[in-house]
Amino acid sequence: MAGISSIGVVGAGQMGAGIAQLAAVHGVDVYLYDADFEALKRAHKSISSNIQRLVSKGQLCQERGEDAIKRLKGSQDLEGLQSVDIVIEAIVESEDVKKKMFVDLDKIVKSSAILASNTSSISITRLASATSRPRQVIGMHFMNPPPIMKLVEIIRGTDTSDDTYNITKCLAERFGKTIVCSQDYAGFIVNRILMPMINEAFYTLYNGVATKEDIDTGMKLGTKHPMGPLELADFIGLDVCLAILKVLFTGLGDMKYAPCPLLVQYVDAGRLGRKRGIGVYEYRLDPRGIKGLPRL
């Protein structure tokens, strides 16, 4: 795609690392930023391992895999992003934290660069208002995990230009993604529909209607979902689900988005899901040190 030869990814967590991997595999130079050096190390190890696995399975040729790893550069200095064509922010789902990051990025990256957020619920218009370039700010919401999931949800803020939208759409398509476009309302498309279902699953458990296993089995076999809503919440992160529900409740003012007390209690207890080894379910480490297998 003309115009985009390098991207910056802010945040080396699961989403940021996945986006960085996706871009590198598709021939884009990637500058992955995180203030935490250990997070950068984990991300580089994970990306290298995933690429090597794709090569071993014949899903990626050796040459392209080696090229992808060479395209990835980690940095603890935001100044390293000053020459990129687009920055994709993938940090904590907090409007205040994201706004602060956008203020910093606006001062650092070149004037023509696009600032995109991987937010799953927060207003793009309000994030854009923290910058001097609201026409170049857009939402680019990847599904988890980014290298596997086919969808990218693009969100236009009030002032997002057609050029910014078209460039972002073309980049997502270059990554092999299908695009849906949402207006800038709380939760956008996917989470506005998904989070009430997850919340209702928590209420179903909270009210003693059924066990967690029966709730998830009912939804998997009864509605052909690949993962039950409680298991999915653990995969997303219960803290992330709670944060999104709070945005929905505040932004739309409807009680159906009020977070279930059980979800709040689990988050308060640090039961955040697979990433912590315990959420609705408990998880064990597999022999390779990868979290996320249900405890038998």
Flag whether 265 is marked binding: no
Q: At how many degrees (to 10) do helices 229-236 and 190-206 cross?
A: 120
65 appears as a binding residue in the annotation? no
Is 14 annotated for ligand binding? yes
Of the candidates 270, 271, 276, 272, the one whose C-alpha atom is nearest the C-alpha of residue 291 is: 276
The structure tokens listed for 165 are 């939208």
How many whole angstroms separate alpha carbon 227 and alpha carbon 296?
17
- Active site residue: 120, 121, 123, 199, which one? 120
Closest CA to 105 of 125, 121, 89, 123: 89
Respond yes or no: is residue 153 known to be catalytic: yes
Q: Which tokens belong to 275?
A: 């990433």
The partner residues of 117 in beta bridges, in order of sequence, read: 89, 139
Whether 120 has a binding-site annotation, put simply, is yes
Amino acid at 219: M
Residue 49 among the catalytic residues: no
- Contact assessment for residue 295 and residue 231, using Cβ atoms and an 8 Å cutoff: no
Q: Which of 141, 182, 199, 231 is catalytic?
A: 141
Q: Tell whether residue 15 is among the known ligand binding residues.
A: yes
Is 120 assigned a catalytic role?
Answer: yes
Identified catalytic residue from 117, 118, 123, 191: 191
Q: Is 144 annotated as a binding residue?
A: yes
Which one from 118, 153, 182, 199 is the annotated catalytic residue? 153
From CA 210, how far away is CA 204, in angstroms rounded?
7
57 annotated to bind ligand: no
Does the annotation count 79 as an active-site position? no
Between CA 172 and CA 169 the distance in angstroms is: 5
Helix (H) or strand (E) holding 229: helix 229-236
Contact 295, 283 (CB under 8 A): yes
Known binder of ligand: residue 104? Answer: no
Check the annotation: does 34 bind a ligand.
yes
User: Does the annotation place 275 within a ligand binding site?
Assistant: yes
Reference 31, options 5, 46, 9; nearest CA is 9
Classify residue 117 as left (phi > 0), alpha (psi -120 to 50) or beta: beta
The DSSP result for 259-286, as a single string, is PPHHHHHHHHTT--BGGGTBSSSBEE--
Q: Could you tell me which residues are annotated as the binding site?
A: 11-16, 34, 93, 98, 120, 144, 275
Q: Could you tell me which residues are annotated as the binding site for NAD(+)?
A: 11-16, 34, 93, 98, 120, 144, 275
Catalytic center residues: 120, 141, 153, 191
